[in-house]
Structure 1
């Protein structure tokens, strides 16, 4: 019956409009719900019923029903908050949160009300864990797969690997001077001469031959200074001069040395000339005829004495053995040797100062027992073949030594103050860290040299904190190398005192400046071998880094700065290790702390300057800037998030570490996501799978930190819809009441 159909049609309208009013009510109720997305309801008519009409078949509507109910994902406004972990998405995308303990129960939300829980996880109010990528601290790139974001509340210590020290060194400082005061006596018209050794700042010995002639009538002098004897190259020369002082320049280092003979007397005594200083160079020669040679394959020895710095004669003996089969030498240097001499050095009862086996060199160095006084011994003048007789007798010549004291020489860790304040022109100190986060002071000393526009520098630590292997070994200076199929060994048993005195020295070198006050070259730069304590050259006299330093580490670091090696932890290295590679020192050598020293210059084919650099200007010595990249342990103080979703930790030790990147997801049909409450959505077949990515990529929005997205419900729009739904509901209700009246009239027809 048509009237009954009218009742059902009106009822469908009431039902549909009731759903519409429910949608409005839900939208209004969530007006202040964070990131709430208001829903939109649409209606459709119900399939019509066919009826007969005068003009033919017609269709009669059966009412209305809900057509669709979708959330609207329009952008909500942002509310600023004080929490750095309150995040909002400006644009498309959803945060991903995962239920703890589940394997795949991932939900999606626009609500960024996140906090860090007791376990360090970034969670939403329901305790679901926010998903993201961990960031590699060194590269800044994301690593691994998307996983739970967990904030480290502590910052691990980081060992210092680079020191930046930028200074100005006063160009007005006076140069160091080397004066050799000669002694002796010379009469009128006579010529005197002497030979002594100058050990330059590179440790190279130069034999200087001095010849003087005195003219008493004119009180004038003729002088000649030569290198390597009477027939050597002339270094300086003068005729008829009244001055008793002249200057020579060393050929390699260009250092100026002043020779002063003002103390010479003019009496009837025998003519003589000598230079002061301890004896620091010994030359061994063959005592025989011009064509004689050393007898091969047998031990020979020579006793000699060396005068030390106190003027005491030290009794020494050198043993030499030349192997004619491989053309190599064995040698021993002994102090206070056995008397009479034994058949070979194995029977010696004295103190062995140095020894070597299968060496190709014809020189060695050692220290006088219990001192830091280095002596060079050279037997290059001993022939091993000839047309004369094979002899076993050796001769010796000792030369007084004039040393150019450097910062390295002056440092003595055995003293309470290793380097007196009068020994340098400037110093600067900064703090670095070892791998455990322990702080250590590094002090860099600077001083002028005997060369114009050249400064020397010494990098040191507190000697008591220096735990390199050589400071703990009884006999630190031991080397073993393989040269083809021959094993070469060297030992300087007398080097212990020297090693102890240099405890705390990390690097020594020199800086040459140009006329604009900029460093033009590093040269003659050394560090100490962590295993032996011996100086290791890393930059040569030409300013070129050494290709293969003898301690097995690179001369410069990854950034091109000179590399020093430190050890504050007491790492044990292999004794008697082969030199030449880092692995040869044992696996523990990799744990030694390698630190680049940046003065504002790096090596790349040549020394190049950076924008901020060490200079030599005519102004006071000063530290312009210093820094280092190590850190001690620290605790988390605060977090910050940038627009790319990178969560950065700020720690009490000063570290600022990028920790995580928040992951975002989007869907091809986000309107088809399933609402599960708690401002969460779940993936459905209709929505399609999530498309994940970094913020601000692939159409995903950016992150707004310290912000929360508000509901996108428009209250005015909802009130308008409420009125429309109300009026529609009233009209549908009127349909039902009118139809009821009509049915009542129909029932009353029987009366």
Structure 2
């Protein structure tokens, strides 16, 4: 009956509008729910029934029902917060969170109220773990698959691999000077005299330069004629005729150091003309004694020669050299002995003296050693000995030369003293802290001093000697080398070098800086580091300023950034004796375990020495440190985290490290309206929504991250009130349909009465 249909039609309207009011109520109830997405409900009519009519369609409506109910994913406004882990998405996308007890139960949310739990995981209020990618600290790129974000509470120590020290070195500082004051007597009051002497000047490279000084004095004019010659090169370094000056300045041919030769102390008496240079004897040249007719050294037998060397205290040290020339391979074996056995044994194996140096299968005709218990180096040369001829001989002669050394910061450093380098020995120093691989701090001090050259400073990089644990400081005989020359194994040992090595403990690098007229560094030169295995200086930058292509300690001369490379060891890494410290073939993993540190003065090498914007200078102003830094860290604990718009979570640690740790992953769906709401501001993937499309924030249509922010509900309260009124009026009208229909049914029933 039509009236009954009207009742059901009205009821459907009430039911639909009741659902509508429920939607409005849910929207209003979640007005302050973080990232809540308001729902929208729409209605449709119910399939009509056909009735008989004279005209028209004859379709009679049956009422209304809910057509669709979807969330609206419009952007909500942002609320600023004080928590760095409160995140909001500006644009499309959802955060991904995983239930901890499951392996793949992933949920999606716009609610970014995250905190770090006791285990370090980034979680939502329900304890679900936020998903993301771990970031490679070195490259800054994401690595691996999406997984639980877990914030590292501690920061592992990082060994220093580069130090930056930018200074100004005062251009007004006085140059160092090396004055060789000659002794002796030449001429007298009535007659002129002439004399000559030859001595050795050892430059910063350890090279001996034989210098001959020829003087003629004219008493009638009180004037001098002089010639100063480099004997080895047969070149005149300085010359004068009829001059009143009693000094001349020469420049060494290789390193350019300026040396003053002074003869003002010479006397003029009736004694025989004779002059000499002061200083200990530091060079010995061995030659064949040809007085018996010999013209070459007896081959394939041990030959010895006894001589003395005057040390720095004026004491004559008795020495013996043993030489053996092998005619089959044209190589030498040698021994240098102090306080040798008397009478001499038949070969060095019977020696009871102190072995200062020895070598086997050497192609060199020279060696060096230290006088026992001292750091006084003596160079010995037997290159003048012929090894072939007609008459063999076994007697040798020696020529000894007084030594003058160009004093350097390296020479003056003595770790055996309480203060290794006195304050009077340098013009400026600066100190910074570096870290080893365990995070232990160590002070590095760099000393600077002028040299005998214009616009040239020397520098010495050091650490506390007691903290220096390189292999050579623990060896009783550190200076040993074994090298392979083709099929021949060459051995070299300097037992007397133990004292020198002990005195240089703590020295990491020595070098020189040459400045131009604008106060900028032209180049590094004469730069050395100590071999971690032997303690001997290893040249890494030559006289010409070019890096040495293959330093003898097996490490590169320069680091990856083009800065000079020094080698430190604060942990006591054991190395195989005799072999290069940097040879992985010989030392294995221990070669890499040694701490390699680049030294940046603001200049790097790339085909030539090039300057950076901040660099060491030589201006006419006070010595000062402009800037210093290093890239190592001790252990640290997490202090706070920060998040940028790309979703990168960065940890800030107590040791000063700022480390990018994670990147938050976002997901989106082709039909996000069809996600399944599961409560707690979470959504679940459904067949209708399609699979998630994951990616980095700000890529592939995904939004950016707003840190220290929460997205508010996108519900418009005014709009909801308007809908509430509409639903209320519609509900009243539908209710009226039912009451009117009820009245009509009453009238129908009353017809029977």
Give TM-score, length-normalised by structure 2: 0.98
In the alignment, what sits opposite 2:352? 349
Q: Which residue, out of 408, 424, 427, partners 1:425?
A: 427
Kindly report the root-mean-square deviation, in angstroms, between the aligned alpha carbons of the 2 structures: 1.2
Q: Is the contact between residue 548 and residue 580 of structure 1 (CA under 8 Å) also seen in structure 2?
A: no
Match of 1:67 in 2: 67
Match of 1:302 among 305, 316, 329: 305
Distance 2:546 2:580 in 1: 25
Residue correspondence of structure 1 range 376-525 to structure 2 within 5 A: 376-386=379-389, 388-525=390-527
Conservation of the 8 A alpha-carbon contact between 1:527 and 1:537: yes
Partner of 1:273: 275
- Residue 579 of structure 1, CA deviation: 6.8
- Residue by residue, what CA displacement relative to the aligned partner does 1:55-95 show, whole Å, maximum 9, x if unpaired? 26511111111111000000101111111110111111111
Question: Is the 2:279–2:404 Cα contact (8 Å) retained in structure 1?
Answer: yes
Distance 1:432 1:576 in 2: 29
User: What is the DSSP-based 3-state SS (H/G/I as helix, E as strand, rest coil) of the residue aligned with 2:382?
Assistant: strand
- Which residue is 1:530 aligned to? 532
1:12 offset after TM fit, Å? 1.0
8 A Cα contact 1:479 1:579, kept in partner = no
> Which string of whole-angstrom CA distances, capped at 9 and with x for unpartnered residues, describes residues 503-523 of structure 1?
000000000000000000100
Query: Distance between the aligned counterparts of 2:294 and 2:260, measured in 1?
Result: 40
Shift of 1:740: 1.6
Match in the other structure for 2:285: 283
Secondary structure at the counterpart of residue 342 of structure 1:
coil
Decide whether the 8 Å contact of 2:582 with 2:592 is kept in 1: no
Q: 1:56 to 1:463 in 2, by over 3 A?
A: closer
Aligned to 2:366: 363
2:672 to 660, 663, 670: 670
Q: Is the 8 A contact 2:563 2:604 kept in 1?
A: yes
Is the CA contact 1:470–1:533 (under 8 Å) kept in the aligned structure 2? yes
Q: Shift in Å at residue 190 of structure 1?
A: 2.5
Relative to structure 2, which stretch is displaced further, 287-296 or 133-142?
287-296
Aligned-pair distance for 1:537? 0.5
Q: Which whole-Å CA distance do the structure 2 matches of 1:686 and 1:116 have between them?
A: 34
The 2-side partners of 1:176 and 1:649 are apart by 51
Q: Which residue of 2 aligns with 1:339?
A: 342
Deviation at 1:749, TM superposition (A): 2.2
After TM superposition, give the deviation of residue 576 of structure 1 in Å: 2.4
**What is the distance in 2 between the residues matched to 1:37 and 1:405?**
81
Which of residues 638, 641, 644 in structure 2 aligns to 1:642? 644
Task: Measure the CA separation in 1 of the matches of 2:134 and 2:274.
Answer: 81
1:9 aligned partner: 9
- Residues 191 and 57 of structure 1: CA distance in aligned 2, closer, same or farther (over 3 Å): closer
Instruction: Determine if contact 1:75/1:91 at 8 Å carries over to the other structure.
Output: yes
Q: What is aligned with 1:228?
A: 231
- Structure 1 counterpart SS, 2:710: strand
1:163 is aligned to: 163
How much has 1:374 moved relative to structure 2? 0.6
Instruction: For 1:700-715, list aligned pairs within 5 A.
Output: 700-715=702-717
Offset, 1:48: 1.1
C-alpha distance 662-57 of structure 1, shift in aligned 2 (>3 A):
closer
Correspondence 1:111 to 2:114? no
Alpha-carbon distance between aligned partners in 1 of 2:658 and 2:410, rounded to the nearest angstrom:
38
The offset of 1:189, in angstroms, is 2.6
- The correspondence for 2:541, drawn from 539, 542, 545, is 539
**Given that residues 550 and 579 in structure 1 are in contact (C-alpha distance below 8 angstroms), is that contact kept between their aligned partners in structure 2?**
no
Given that residues 553 and 582 in structure 1 are in contact (C-alpha distance below 8 angstroms), is that contact kept between their aligned partners in structure 2?
Answer: no
For residues 139-196 of structure 1, the C-alpha deviation after alignment (integer angstroms, 9 at most, x for no partner) is: 2111111111111111111111111000000111111111101111122333211110
Shift of 1:582: 4.0
Contact 1:481 1:578 in 2 (8 A): no
Asked if the contact 1:573/1:586 (under 8 Å) is kept, the reply is: no
- How many angstroms does 1:205 deviate by? 0.5
Q: Residues 634 and 580 (structure 1 numbering): CA distance in 2 closer, same or farther, change over 3 Å?
A: closer
Segments of 5+ residues of structure 1 without an aligned counterpart are none
Is this contact kept in 1: 2:41–2:68, CA < 8 A?
yes
Does structure 1 conserve the Cα–Cα contact (< 8 Å) formed by 2:582 and 2:591? no
User: Do the aligned partners of residues 712 and 579 (structure 1) sit closer, same or farther apart at CA in structure 2, a change above 3 Å counting?
Assistant: closer
Q: In 1, Cα distance between the equivalents of 2:619 and 2:594?
A: 36
CA 1:84/1:725 → structure 2, altered by over 3 Å: closer, same or farther? Answer: same
Q: Deviations over 1:589-614 (max 9, x none)?
A: 21111110000000000000000000
The two structures have a TM-score, normalised by structure 1, of 0.98
Instruction: Please state if 1:312 is matched with 2:315.
Output: yes
The question of 1:25 aligning with 2:25 is answered yes
Structure 2 gaps of 5+ residues are: none
Give, in angstroms, the shift of residue 328 of structure 1. Answer: 1.2
Structure 2 SS opposite 1:52 = coil
Q: Residue 271 of structure 2 aligns to a residue in which SS?
A: coil
Structure 2 CA distance, aligned partners of 1:56 and 1:100?
64
Please state whether the residue corresponding to 1:717 is helix, strand or coil.
Answer: helix
Shift of 1:291: 7.6
SS at match of 2:51: strand
3-state DSSP of counterpart to 2:6: helix
The offset of 1:574, in angstroms, is 1.1
Please give the alpha-carbon distance, in whole angstroms, between the structure 2 residues aligned to 1:249 and 1:82: 70
- Name the residue aligned to 1:679: 681
Q: Distance in 2 between matches of 1:656 and 1:218?
A: 78
Quote the offset at 1:303 in angstroms: 0.9
8 A contact 1:481–1:579 mirrored in 2: no
Q: Which residue matches 2:691?
A: 689
- Specify whether residues 419 and 579 from structure 1 end up closer, same or farther in structure 2 by C-alpha distance, changes over 3 A only: closer
Question: Is contact 1:320–1:329 with CA below 8 Å preserved after alignment?
Answer: yes
1:576 alignment partner in structure 2: 578
Rounded Cα–Cα distance in structure 1 between residues aligned with 2:352 and 2:207: 32
Instruction: Verify the 8 A CA contact 2:78 2:712 in the aligned structure 1.
Output: yes
Aligned to 2:131: 131
Structure 2 vs 1, CA of residues 579 and 285 (structure 1 numbering), >3 Å: closer, same or farther?
A: farther
Tell me the residue number matched to 1:189.
192
CA contact (8 A) 1:432 1:440 kept: yes
Aligned equivalents of 1:580, 1:629: Cα separation in 2? 22
2: CA distance, partners of 1:249 / 1:393: 38
Give the Cα separation in 2 of the matches to 1:57 and 1:246: 130
- In the TM superposition, residue 636 of structure 1 has moved relative to its aligned partner by 1.1
Cα distance in 1 for residues equivalent to 2:586 and 2:269:
63
* Secondary structure of the corresponding residue to residue 166 of structure 1: strand
What pairs with 1:736-751 in structure 2 (closer than 5 Å)?
736-751=738-753
For the residue of structure 2 that corresponds to 1:8, the secondary structure is helix
Matching of residue 660 in structure 1 with residue 662 in structure 2: yes
Where does residue 262 of structure 1 map in the other structure?
264
Q: Distance in 2 between matches of 1:528 and 1:647?
A: 43
| Deviation >6 Å, runs of 4+ | none
How far has the Cα of 1:633 moved from its partner? 1.1
Instruction: Give per-residue Cα distances to partners, 1:377-399, cap 9 Å, x unaligned.
Output: 1111111123x312122111110
Q: Structure 1 residues 79 and 580 mapped into 2: Cα distance closer, same or farther (>3 Å)?
A: closer
Deviation at 1:232, TM superposition (A): 1.8
| CA deviation string 1:297-336 (max 9, x = no partner) | 1111111110000111111111111112211111111111
Equivalent residues, number:
749
SS state of the match for residue 750, structure 1? Answer: coil
Does the 8 Å CA contact 2:27/2:715 hold for their aligned counterparts?
A: yes
Contact in 2 for aligned 1:551/1:582 (Cα 8 Å)? no
